[in-house]
């Protein structure tokens, strides 16, 4: 994993493969490398906003991606801790 875009593509592929979200539900990804977790990308996955007046939160979830291995984990943003690995099925 060498870029934010690559990390986003990886986590979206894992979420779709594991049927956590459908690919068409995921619109974008924000985030990048994290100083508190060297070697990891911390990313939020966002849904599409389909409301003409705008949407509230479109957040689907936060994830951590190991830059060396591509392993994908849940991210506990309240504690800012990397959680369980979720890419075992792909």
According to the model, what pLDDT value does residue 56 have? Answer: 66
**Three-class secondary structure assignment of the chain:** CCCHHHHHHHHHHHHHHCCCCCHHHEEEEEEEEECCEEEEEEEEEEECCCCCCCCCCCEEEEEEEECCCCCEEEEECCCCEEEEECCCCC
pLDDT, tens only, 26-83: 888 999 999 999 999 999 998 887 766 666 678 889 999 999 999 999 999 999 999 9
Indicate the pTM of the whole model. 0.84
Domains, the chain, with CATH or none: 4-85 (3.10.450.170)
């Amino acid at each position: 994993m060498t870029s934010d875009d690559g990390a986003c593509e990886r986590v979206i592929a894992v979420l779709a493969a594991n049927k956590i979200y459908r690919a068409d539900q995921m619109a974008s990804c924000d985030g990048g490398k994290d100083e508190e977790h060297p070697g990891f990308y911390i990313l939020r996955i966002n849904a599409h906003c389909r409301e003409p007046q705008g949407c509230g939160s479109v957040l689907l979830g936060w994830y951590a991606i190991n830059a060396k291995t591509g392993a994908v984990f849940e991210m506990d943003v309240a504690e800012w801790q990397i959680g369980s690995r979720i890419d075992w099925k792909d």
